[in-house]
Every structure is written in C-alpha cells, then in structure tokens.
C-alpha cells in the first residue's frame, strides 16, 4: 500500500473545527468528501474547469479540487452543507434556485449556489454582467442558465420592480 | 383519460429540488461503503493493435492491491444490440483508450501505482478512422469474430465488412421521381462525434456475495436492460443481480448503454466480498466513455418548380466507433426519419451503422436524429433558395399534416408540427426586416422542424402502495437524471388519488422493489411511465371504493375521492384513507398495492426490406425551432440573439419541467452547433480531452429563449395525451442556426460545428469569388 506523507492540520469547516491527518498532496475536495462526509461539493472534472466543487474560503469562492487541504488551514471553509441548518429553512439563494426551477440534475447546483452566495454577500445588487461573471466558471449541462439568471435577478435588489412581478408569478405557482 | 387537474399541467415545484439545493441528494459518486476498494483501468495507447503480452506480476505484488484482471480472466463480451465489447480487451485493442487491465486496491493512489507497474506489449495494426472508408469494404476488418457474437436485429452480420446494420426505407419510385423533377439538389453534410458531458462521470459499485449474487449501485438510465444483458453474459438468474440506481448527475443518453458494470463486477468477484467502485475521471469520460455518433449524410431531392418535392434519397453513415452499443438502433431509428417530416411520394433511405477504430458511440439526446436533421433541414433551405421561395413558406407547403402519408405508409395523426413551425417563426418576427447594422455585422433568421419516433415496442410498469396512514409510495424504474419525472409521477398520483405532494413519495429504481420499465430514454418516461402510474392509481381507487362501500353503505358508483377521503358523491359523508386502512373493528387492511401498466405492443414492426409499416411507433415528437443570429464578419463569430422553440406536447405534465427541458435542449443544441467537436489525432487519440479544450456553452452565450407549448393536439399514447419533448428540444437547433447563417451570408455550413474559424474562412472565400 502506498502511504504518502501526512501532516496533522486543523480545518475550520462550517463553523466546526476538525483535527485531521491529511496527506500533503490531498485535495481539499477529497478531504471534505471522503473524510468529513460533506459530499455536497461535487467532483466533476478534478481540474478546476466545471465549478461543481466550489466552496468558500473566508467567503471567497474557490474550486476545492485545486486547493490542497494544507493550504486551507487558517481559513473559514464554507460548503453547501453550511449554508442552511439541517432542520431549518433553505437560505434565500437555495430557496430561489428551488422556486425558479434553476436546478435539474442538481450536480452543478451546490457549486453554483456557493458562487451566487459569495456574489450577493459582496454585492447585494448585481446586474446581469455581475451575475454572469460570478457563474461563468460553472458548467451546467442540463442548461439551467436561464432559470439561474432569473433566480439571481430575483435576489438582486437592483431590479425591485421586476422582482415584484416575479413574486406575483411565483405566488401563482403555489397551490 | 382526462379530468380536472390540480397539480398536473401546473408549474408546481419539483420535490427533488430542495435536497439538491442543500447538497444532500445522493449520487453514485457520493456512495462509499466500509472496506470499499477503488478500481483503476489501464487503457490502450493504440487505436488498433494486437496484444502480444501483458505483465501484471509486479502490480499483483504491490501491497494494498487486491485484484488485477485482464480480458483473459473473464472472456465476457457484452452490448446492447451486439455482444461485441469485452469487459477488458481480449487479444487486441480496437480504440485508443480501450480498457486492457483493471486493478482493485485499497485506495486510489495504490491502484494508480499498480497501473504504473503493468507492462503491455502491443503489435500495431492498421487502423481505420474514416467512416466512409470503413464502410467501403476496402478497410481492415475491426471485428473478425463478429459471426460468433450474440446479436439481435437490427444488427446484422456482413462478412468482411465493418457495417453492423443497414436500415432501408423504400417508398414509391425514387428514380422516376428524379426523372420527373424540374431540378435536382444534392448535398453532403457531416456531424462530428460529440459528448454528453454529464457533470457526474459514470460510476458503478459492485459487490459479489459468496453465493454468487451481485449487488450493483449503478449510474444507469436503464436498470432492466442492463440487468438482462448482465444476466445473459454472466449466466446468472436475473433475480440474483440486484441493481440500485441513485440520482444521476445528468444522463442525456450516455448512461443508457452498458457502462462500467462488468469491470466492477469482474474485480468484485476477485475481492473477497468487498465492494469495488469504478468511477471514471473526466479524461477517461471524454476519451473512452461514450460519444454521439459522427455521421455523414448524402441527401438528394427532385423538385418541381412549384415547390413540390417529388423524390428524396438519403444515405447516412453513422460512425459507431469501436463498439456498437446502441448504434444499430440509433442509425435505424434516426435513419428511418432521415427524409424529414415532409410530404414526399418517393423516398429511398439507406442508413448504415459502421465500426471504426474510434471511441465507441452510443445513445445521445436525440438518438441520431440531430445528425440527419442537420442535413435535411439545411437541404430544405438550399432548395427554397433555388426556388426563390421563403424557407418558411416552403416548409409550410410541404410539412406533414394529419391525414398525410409518411415514408413508411403511416397516416399522420395527432400532429401539430405545422402549428409549431408557424408559432416558432412568428415568435422571432420572421417577416420583420433586419435593423440597420454596424459595418461587419450581418443578421439572419433560420427555422427547422423536428420529428422523432419513440422507441417501440416498450413496456412500462409502476406500482402504488398506499400505507396504513393513507400516504403513498410510487414505485417505478425511471431514472431521475434531472428531467423531473419523479415530480411528474407525484403530480399524477396526487390528482388521481386526491392527495397532496407531502403524501406521495416516489422511489428511485431498485430492481428488487421497482417493476420493469423500458429505460429512461426516448423522451417517453413522463408520458408512458406516467400512464402506468395513472393506471396503478385507478386500481388503488377501486380498492379504496371496495373497502369503503360497505362501511358507507352505498354502491361503489356513488363514491368519489376527495381530500384524502372516500366520499359519497354530493355529500360531506366519507372516510379518510388512513381510517379506512387501519380500522380495527373490521380487521385492518394492511396496505393497498396495485401495479399499473402501459404497453406499446400494438406497434407494427417496419418491413426490414422496405421500412413500410402503418404504425411503426407509439408516439411521434414534433417541434420547430427558430433562431435569429448575428455574425461578426471580421471574426466569423456567430451570436445567437434569440430562440423560439415550439413543441407539440399534447399536455404539459409540469409546465416548469417542460421549460427546463426546452431551455436545456436548446442550449445543448447551441453548444453542439457552435462549439462542440471531439477531435482525434492521426493515431486516433482524443485531442481535446478536458473541459478547457472540449468547448461547451457557458452562461455568457445564453440567448433569450421563448418556450412555446402547444397543447391542442393530445396524443393517443401518453398519460392525459402527453407527448415527450426531452429530445425534440435539441434536434433542430443546429440546423436552424445553420439556416440563419445561410440567410445572413449565403454560406452553407456542411460541417458541424459552425466555428468562428470555419465561418471566417468561408466568408473570405466567398468574398474572393465575388
């Protein structure tokens, strides 16, 4: 069996501390998924091209398949599991993705939602260009882009009038 | 089969989405078990080579390695139509990337290290990559052992050939039609191989018990087809192969075929009962998982000056790569429709499925139809230009309508294709003149029609179990891969049994618990499996009535379901399901169970020599897609400005799902049209094996999309008259874009994709000529 070099590290994930022995070459994505059971961050390409593994380091989105676990030490790491309490309601971004049907197979959704969450934390009124920039590193093969844009526009305070219309439309959907 | 709908035909939210938004939904890649081993595959560096020797001794000695297998260990061959694919190469490799040795080890790094220790000696053979050359009879034969393979029609053995099936349609007298024509138009079109690019790669976990029974956790769209093939090849009873299908991170047809199952099972058989996980990485996924068929199409039409199409001849060569997978049915079903949805008296079609030494091709959204649509829909515009007719008017003059006869002699029924074409065109203001444009910019509009037959015959079963509290579990083997069928089945159940979504759970496929269905393919799960769910609900309803009638002391005819209760019609007297099923004074009823079904065994198989059949399929998909593009002549870049996609859906089972399917198909289609091209070097290796090099559309290229759902022509097959649209949303878009480019520039895009580079040089050449 190949036993690579290991180091003991303290990782801060979703508000909890984890003392772990990690291999020096181990990716943050693998540690999150395989050691901490946080499988919400998805493995789509392992080379930073699809965005499905996006997590936040101190609030900034990164591809966790491109970050060594060792390099995540000292940061507050937020994964999709950290956005809303297990028994509680979805956070507003998650809820908007659900309401607008911005999710199909769901494999890209955690990554998309992390990037949108980071965007809105920085800029509560993103315009279309801001939104596109925030998610241009994410691939969605189901082609949910139209509805993702709708969901984020709804969350953006830049379009209050339009949001009123969208709210009415959403209420019509409710039964 | 109609009635008032509450949830069906609305936009109500899909119940699978909140879990997906939380990242809680479990996909195959998320599964892990105690003592699970990781598999890695050593692949062929050559496209065609004899295997002289394989040295695995060093790898076997590496601590942590549990199993090392080659093709000789289990000479299994498997396939969907032809059992042509060994689980690992036997004696020779026939594409670059073919699995040769498989290793199971305690972790990924150990498995990878073991691969490094394996040496394979090859003797290179002459490969063939060009599909027409391969079909010519003058190429090296790729499958010398074909005669001994197990295969089913439409596959056929042609000695000394790389052709593995030949679909024919013969209607009227094509030669005579050409002779009577005022003019003839002939074209050749080409579509390259492409990839489904599911974000979740293929994954399969296998565990083999000491009694030989097998459990698989498999990312498949077709649990029962896979199980049947595995049982046949492994000589096991179907009951001893238990397949569990988690959520899929995309399917698009790619996961309809046999994927990694045998590698996982083979390794698991040698791993002492430990589960073995095979999960492809992106590079493997691109180079060796499954592609869309490349296709060469020759199309020739004889035309009258008034715009009548007298005769059409189509010859299509589908490149299925090294292994057939669904190739013979793809080329057969799509080839069948290759003359297009138009009135033509005389038709000759020959559609071939051909092996080459490339990555195997299989199912891909549209099942071969986008490739022929790319040809016949552009051909229509070329003819229209020759006639000096508006391409829209030319289509409307010739489009098939109810009562017309198709290429197989079927009388068209339940068809709103003409309405689709009219509405799609109107939605992009077809007749509005182009606005004034900056120099170097051109605009064009294009439209294309789509039709596709649903695979038939097919069998769809579903169960409903009502628990003692009146809540319900629906059992069906449709794979949830993003299309939202679970929510559709929930809605049907709610409407038929007067329940709320919170009362209805819908299972994922599990071969022990959920009954047979044909596979989550051919755009039919919502409509056809939905009909089986509907049927099961009717049976549950009857059981509820039978239980309640004596208690309520009325005849069954006086009962109805309302608000989770069996009620006496026109009164407020009734009994709640929960009370009915758990009532102890009459002895409780346990739970209720019913199996519903829908079978399309009424279809009539087309004659193999002529393709003629009055009822060749259970249901046709009809759609039309119209686009407006802007071209930057300095760079050749095509920007899609807007898209209208009109679909003859019968009824929208869930309006939100329909929009998702249409938008998704349109965007996949734009990506196919402008960017996607699987490139091979001269040795047959995939050159663009990453998402950096294999270009996909991103959010930046997304135009406004208008989804038009036409609901005034219910179909006879699907539940409530529903028809599918998962594939028809993709079929015509590439041709519509090409037609818009033709409108703007006069340039025909014979080859997909319409890259900026190709168009730039075509514009330059045209300028030079003029």
Three-state secondary structure readout of B619-638: CEEEEEEEEEEEEECCCCEE
Tell me which H or E stretch contains B599: strand B592-599
Confidence of residue B257 (pLDDT cuts 50, 70, 90): confident
- DSSP 8-state code for residue A93: H
CA distance B231 to B237: 6
Confidence of residue B91 (pLDDT cuts 50, 70, 90): very high
CA separation (Å) from B47 to B75, B79, B102?
A: 21, 20, 19
Tokens standing for residue A88: 């509680």
Task: From chain A, pick out residues whose CB is under 8 angstroms from the CB of B663.
Answer: 143-147
Tell me: ipTM over 0.90: yes
Task: From chain A, pick out residues whose CB is under 8 angstroms from the CB of B113.
Answer: 2
Is the Cβ–Cβ distance between A126 and A158 less than 8 Å?
Answer: yes
Mean per-residue pLDDT, B477-506: 97
Interface test with B, best of A104, A151, A169 (most B CBs within 10 A): A104
Residue of A nearest to B483 (CA): A104
Dihedral angle sign, alpha carbons of residues A169, A170, A172, A173: positive
Per-residue pLDDT tens for B154-189?
A: 999 999 999 999 999 999 999 999 999 999 999 999
Instruction: Provide the chain B residues 153-182 that lie in CB contact (below 8 A) with chain A.
Output: none
Residue of B nearest to A84 (CA): B22
Q: How far is B690 from chain A (nearest CA, A)?
A: 8
Which of B6, B281, B702 is nearest residue A46 as measured by Cβ atoms? B281
Residue of A nearest to B195 (CA): A141
Instruction: Provide the chain B residues 453-492 that lie in CB contact (below 8 A) with chain A.
Output: 481-484
CB neighbours of residue B123 within 10 Å = 10
CA distance A110 to A117: 10
Whether A42 and B659 lie within 8 Å, measured CB to CB: no
Q: Which residues contact A108 (CB under 8 A, 6 or more apart)?
A: A42, A44, A50, A51, A52, A138, A139, A140, A141, A142, A144, B199
pLDDT at A171 over 70: no
Phi, psi dihedrals of residue B148, rounded to the nearest 5°: -95, -5
State the residue for tokens 């999960």: B279
Interface test with A, best of B249, B289, B661, B729 (most A CBs within 10 A): B249
**Cis preceding-peptide flag for B457 (omega within 30 of 0):** yes
Task: From chain B, pick out residues whose CB is under 8 angstroms from the CB of A43.
Answer: 29
Whether A45 and B247 lie within 8 Å, measured CB to CB: no
- The pLDDT value given to residue A159: 60
Whether B250 and A105 lie within 8 Å, measured CB to CB: yes
Is the Cβ–Cβ distance between B754 and B673 less than 8 Å?
Answer: yes
- The pLDDT value given to residue B770: 86
CA distance B392 to B407: 22
Q: What is the mean pLDDT of chain A?
A: 92
State the residue for tokens 């003149």: B433
Give the whole-number percent of chain B exceeding pLDDT 90.
Answer: 96
Whether B660 and A47 lie within 8 Å, measured CB to CB: no
- DSSP 8-state code for residue A32: I
pTM of the model: 0.96
Whether B691 and A175 lie within 8 Å, measured CB to CB: no
CA distance B291 to B318: 12
pLDDT at A175 over 50: no
Does B768 reach chain A within 8 Å, measured CB to CB? no
Is the Cβ–Cβ distance between B250 and A105 less than 8 Å?
Answer: yes
Q: Which residues pair with A22 in a beta bridge?
A: A7
- The pLDDT value given to residue A166: 67
Per-residue pLDDT tens for B225-234?
A: 999 999 999 9
Per-residue pLDDT tens for B2-39?
A: 457 999 999 988 999 999 999 999 999 999 999 999 99
Q: How far apart are the first and last CA of chain A?
A: 57
**Cis preceding-peptide flag for B753 (omega within 30 of 0):** yes
Q: What's the order of all strands across the beta sheet hosting B472-475?
A: B504-506, B472-475, B459-466, B592-599
Per-residue pLDDT tens for B263-276?
A: 999 999 999 999 99
Whether B660 and A104 lie within 8 Å, measured CB to CB: yes
Instruction: Provide the chain B residues 27-46 that lie in CB contact (below 8 A) with chain A.
Output: 27, 29-30, 32
Task: From chain A, pick out residues whose CB is under 8 angstroms from the CB of B700.
Answer: 132, 136
Instruction: Provide the chain A residues 42-81 that lie in CB contact (below 8 A) with chain B.
Output: 42-47, 49-50, 52, 79-81
Per-residue pLDDT tens for B549-608?
A: 999 999 999 999 999 999 999 999 999 999 999 876 656 778 999 999 999 999 999 999
- The pLDDT value given to residue A167: 67
Task: From chain B, pick out residues whose CB is under 8 angstroms from the CB of A172.
Answer: 11
Instruction: Provide the chain B residues 109-128 that lie in CB contact (below 8 A) with chain A.
Output: 109-110, 113
* B727 catalytic residue (yes or no): yes
Mean per-residue pLDDT, B347-351: 98
pLDDT at B133 over 50: yes
CA separation (Å) from B550 to B558, B566, B568, B576, B614?
A: 12, 12, 12, 15, 49
Tokens standing for residue B478: 């449709």
- The pLDDT value given to residue A87: 86
Which of B25, B64, B690 is nearest residue A106 as measured by Cβ atoms? B25
Q: B655-674 and A145-155 are packed helices; what angle lies between their axes, rounded to 10 degrees?
A: 120
- The pLDDT value given to residue A169: 67
Task: From chain B, pick out residues whose CB is under 8 angstroms from the CB of A40.
Answer: 22-24
Q: ∠ CA(B64), CA(B69), CA(B71), 5° rounding?
A: 170
Q: What is the mean pLDDT of chain B?
A: 96
Mean per-residue pLDDT, A84-104: 95
Tokens standing for residue B744: 């703007």
Does A170 reach chain B within 8 Å, measured CB to CB? no
pLDDT at B424 over 60: yes
Three-state SS for B241-273 is EEEECCECCCCCCHHHCCCCHHHHHHHHHCCCC
CA atoms within 13 A on the CB side of B604: 9
Which of A2, A49, A132 is nearest residue B64 as measured by Cβ atoms? A2
Residue in B727, B757, B765, B767 annotated catalytic:
B727
């Amino acid at each position: 069996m190949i036993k690579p070099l290991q180091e003991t590290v303290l990782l801060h994930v979703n508000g909890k501390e984890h003392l772990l022995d990690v291999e020096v070459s181990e990716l943050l994505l693998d540690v999150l998924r395989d050691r901490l059971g946080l499988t919400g961050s998805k493995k789509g390409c392992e080379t930073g091209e699809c965005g499905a593994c996006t997590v936040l380091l101190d609030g900034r989105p990164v591809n966790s398949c491109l970050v060594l676990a060792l390099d995540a030490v000292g940061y507050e790491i937020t994964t999709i599991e950290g956005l809303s309490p297990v028994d509680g309601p979805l956070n507003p971004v998650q809820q908007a993705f659900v309401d607008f049907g911005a999710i199909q197979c769901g494999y890209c959704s955690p990554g998309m939602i992390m990037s949108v969450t980071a965007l809105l934390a920085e800029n509560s009124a993103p315009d279309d260009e801001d939104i596109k920039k925030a998610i241009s590193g994410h691939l969605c093969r189901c082609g949910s882009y139209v509805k993702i844009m709708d969901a984020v526009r709804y969350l953006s305070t830049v379009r209050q009038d339009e949001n009123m219309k969208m709210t009415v439309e959403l209420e019509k959907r409710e039964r | 089969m109609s009635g008032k709908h509450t949830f069906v035909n609305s936009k109500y939210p899909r119940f699978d989405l909140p879990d997906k938004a939380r990242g809680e939904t479990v996909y195959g890649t998320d599964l892990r078990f105690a003592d699970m081993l990781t598999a890695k595959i050593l692949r062929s560096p050559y496209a065609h080579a004899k295997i002289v020797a394989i040295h695995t001794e060093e790898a076997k000695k590496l601590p942590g390695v549990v199993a090392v297998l080659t093709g000789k260990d289990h000479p299994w061959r498997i396939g969907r139509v032809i059992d042509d694919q060994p689980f690992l190469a036997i004696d020779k490799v026939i594409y670059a990337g073919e699995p040769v040795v498989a290793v199971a080890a305690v972790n990924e790094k150990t498995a990878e290290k073991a691969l490094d220790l394996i040496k394979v000696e090859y003797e290179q053979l002459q490969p063939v990559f060009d599909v027409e050359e391969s079909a010519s009879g003058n190429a090296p034969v790729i499958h010398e052992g074909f005669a001994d393979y197990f295969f089913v029609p439409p596959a056929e053995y042609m000695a000394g050939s790389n052709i593995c099936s030949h679909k024919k349609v013969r209607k009227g007298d094509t030669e005579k039609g050409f002779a009577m024509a005022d003019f003839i138009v002939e074209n050749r079109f080409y579509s390259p191989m492409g990839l489904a690019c599911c974000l979740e790669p293929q994954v399969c976990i296998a565990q083999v018990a000491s009694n030989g029974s097998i459990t698989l956790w498999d990312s498949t769209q077709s649990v029962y087809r896979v199980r049947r093939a595995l049982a046949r090849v492994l000589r096991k009873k179907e009951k001893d192969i238990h397949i569990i299908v988690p959520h899929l991170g995309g399917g698009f047809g790619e996961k309809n075929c046999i994927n990694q199952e045998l590698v996982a099972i083979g390794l698991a058989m040698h791993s002492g009962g430990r589960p073995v996980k095979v999960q492809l990485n992106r590079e493997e996924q691109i180079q060796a998982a499954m592609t869309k068929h490349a296709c060469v199409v020759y199309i020739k039409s004889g035309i009258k000056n008034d715009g009548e199409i007298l005769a059409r001849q189509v010859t299509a060569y589908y490149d299925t790569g090294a292994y057939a997978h669904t190739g013979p049915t793809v080329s057969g079903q799509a080839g069948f429709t290759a003359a297009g949805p138009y009135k033509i008296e005389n038709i000759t079609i020959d559609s071939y499925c051909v092996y080459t030494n490339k990555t195997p091709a299989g199912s891909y959204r549209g099942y071969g139809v986008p490739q022929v649509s790319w040809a016949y829909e552009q051909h229509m515009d070329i003819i229209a230009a020759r006639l000096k007719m508006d391409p829209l008017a030319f289509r409307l003059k010739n489009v098939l309508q109810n009562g017309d006869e198709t290429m197989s002699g079927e009388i068209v029924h339940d068809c709103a294709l003409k309405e689709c074409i009219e509405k799609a065109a109107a939605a992009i203001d077809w007749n509005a003149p182009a606005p004034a444009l900056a120099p170097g910019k051109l605009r064009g509009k294009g439209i294309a029609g789509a039709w596709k037959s649903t695979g038939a015959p097919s069998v769809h079963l579903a169960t409903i179990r009502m628990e003692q509290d009146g809540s319900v579990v629906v059992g069906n083997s449709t794979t949830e891969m993003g299309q939202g069928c679970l929510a559709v089945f929930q809605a049907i159940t709610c409407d038929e049994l007067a329940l709320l979504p919170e009362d209805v759970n819908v299972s994922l496929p599990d071969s022990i618990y959920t009954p047979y269905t044909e596979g989550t393919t051919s755009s039919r799960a919502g409509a056809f499996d939905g009909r089986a769910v509907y049927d099961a609900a009717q049976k549950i309803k009857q059981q509820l009535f039978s239980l309640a009638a004596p208690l309520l002391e009325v005849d069954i005819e006086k009962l109805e379901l309302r608000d989770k209760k069996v009620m006496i019609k026109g009164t407020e007297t009734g009994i709640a399901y929960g009370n009915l099923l758990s009532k102890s004074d009459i002895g409780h009823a346990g739970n209720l169970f019913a199996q519903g079904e829908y079978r399309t065994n009424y279809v009539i198989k087309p004659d193999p020599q002529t393709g003629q059949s009055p009822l060749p399929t259970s249901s046709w998909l009809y759609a039309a897609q119209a686009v407006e593009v802007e071209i930057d002549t300095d760079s050749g870049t095509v920007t899609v400005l807007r898209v209208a996609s009109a679909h003859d859906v019968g009824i929208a089972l869930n309006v939100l799902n329909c929009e998702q399917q249409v938008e998704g198909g349109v965007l996949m289609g734009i990506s196919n049209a402008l960017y996607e091209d699987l490139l091979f070097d001269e040795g047959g290796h995939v050159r663009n094996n990453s998402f950096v090099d294999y270009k996909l559309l991103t959010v930046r290229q997304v135009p406004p999309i208008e989804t038009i759902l036409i609901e005034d022509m219910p179909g006879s097959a699907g539940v409530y008259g529903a028809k599918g649209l998962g594939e028809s949303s993709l079929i015509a878009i590439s041709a519509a874009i090409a037609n818009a480019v033709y409108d703007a520039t006069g340039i025909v895009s014979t080859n997909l994709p319409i890259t900026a580079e190709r168009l730039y040089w075509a514009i330059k050449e045209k300028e030079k000529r003029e």
